[in-house]
Amino acid sequence: MEDDMPNSLFQQYSRLVYEQCGINLHEGKKALLQARLNKRLRMTGIDSYKEYFKFITSGANPGEFVNFIDSISTNLTYFFREAQHFDFMNRVGLPELIEAKRKQRDVRIRIWSAGCSTGEEPYSLAMCVLAHLQDITKWDFRILATDISTRVLETASRGVYSEEKVKKVPPALRHAYFRKVGGEDGNSDFQIVPHVKRLITFYRLNLKDPYPFKGPFDFIFCRNVMIYFDKKTQEELVNKMAGFLRAGGYFCVGHSESLTGLAHKLSYVQPAIYRN
Catalytic site residues? 36, 147
* Plot region of 4 (φ>0 → left; ψ -120 to 50 → alpha; else → beta): beta
Given a contact cutoff of 8 angstroms between Cβ atoms, the answer to whether 57 and 16 are in contact is yes
| Bridge partners, 275 (sequence order) | 250, 267
- Tell how far CA 78 is from the center of its chain: 12
| CB 181, CB 160: distance < 8 Å | yes
| Cross-strand pairs, 191 | 160, 179
Distances (CA, A) of 154 to 44, 67, 70, 202: 21, 13, 12, 9
Strands of 85-215, DSSP E: 108-114, 140-147, 160-162, 178-182, 188-192, 200-204
Give the three-class secondary structure for 226.
helix
Environment class of 205 (CB within 10 Å of its CB; exposed 0-12, middle 13-18, buried 19+): buried
Residues paired with residue 99 on neighbouring β-strands, in sequence order: none
The helix/strand/coil state of 192 is strand
Dihedral angle, C-alpha 159, 165, 167, 173, nearest 10 °: -10
Instruction: Give 142's strand partners.
Output: 110
